[in-house]
Amino acid sequence: MDQNELKQQVGRKAVEYIQDGMIVGLGTGSTVRYMVDALGQRVQAEHLNITGVTTSLRTTKQAQDLGITIKDIDEVDHIDLTIDGADEIDDDFQGIKGGGGAHLWEKIVATNSNKIMWIVDESKMVHQLGKFPLPVEVIPFGSKHVFDELARKGYKPEFRLADGKKFLTDQKNYVIDLHLGHIGDPFALSDELIKMVGVVEHGFFLDMVNTVIVGRQSGPEVLQ
């Protein structure tokens, strides 16, 4: 199986955890895309009453096209389960997300969820975080100064680009990716970054996830 087939495998497995009547947080990314496809199939075939709360405009469009009811996060009083992808997960289940630039809304949805599940192909499982660049979402106003401060700290920042221009999140902010290589203490760095004025959110998702489903050649592995 190639990487996409592994992503599809975990996407399909994850929807087995969705039950009729649930309010489900729908993440963002190529793995989640397979999961939302599979959920759409179940909703149609089984006439399930599922409400989705999405983490990006992309996922909203996909889910609505498949006939899944979508509500804004402020229209629901709880989220039963959020299923999302991840870019790196370490041995302690700490994660980096935001490869798709959706980590701000993803973290808001995750924080308001009773249970969080990540679905990843096996390449995302690492012993130490940091090979994947850590995304930091910053408001455009004064962002060059935030960038310079991150450079002074030695964090090797790089503005994320799309079509030759600065990438804009759904919230119309910029993303600065930090090329750290390895991260010794994610909790300390998380605290440091979130205290910087102009930083809206970063891609660390620490002590958040309940279940990880890993796509492997031998089949999906459920870790809890």
Query: What residues make contact with ligand 5RP under the rule CB under 6 A?
Result: 27-31, 84-87, 97-103, 106
Strand pairing of 79-84 and 23-26? parallel
The answer to whether 106 is a known catalytic residue is yes
Structure tokens at 88: 């790196």
The residue from 106, 137, 201, 221 that is catalytic is 106
* Residue whose CB is less far from ligand 5RP, 1 or 48: 1
Sheet strands (E) in 85-223: 88-89, 95-96, 113-121, 134-138, 157-159, 161-162, 165-166, 174-178, 199-202, 204-205, 211-215, 221-223
Q: Is 90 annotated as ligand-binding?
A: no
* Residue whose CB is less far from ligand 5RP, 40 or 203: 203
* Residue whose CB is less far from ligand 5RP, 42 or 58: 58
Sheet strands (E) in the chain: 23-26, 51-54, 69-70, 79-84, 88-89, 95-96, 113-121, 134-138, 157-159, 161-162, 165-166, 174-178, 199-202, 204-205, 211-215, 221-223
Query: Minimum Å distance from CB 10 to ligand 5RP?
Result: 9
Q: Is 198 annotated as ligand-binding?
A: no
Query: Minimum Å distance from CB 135 to ligand 5RP?
Result: 8
* Residue whose CB is less far from ligand 5RP, 100 or 198: 100
Query: Minimum Å distance from CB 102 to ligand 5RP?
Result: 4
Catalytic residues: 106
| Binding residue positions | 28-31, 84-87, 97-100, 124
| Binding residue positions for substrate | 28-31, 84-87, 97-100, 124
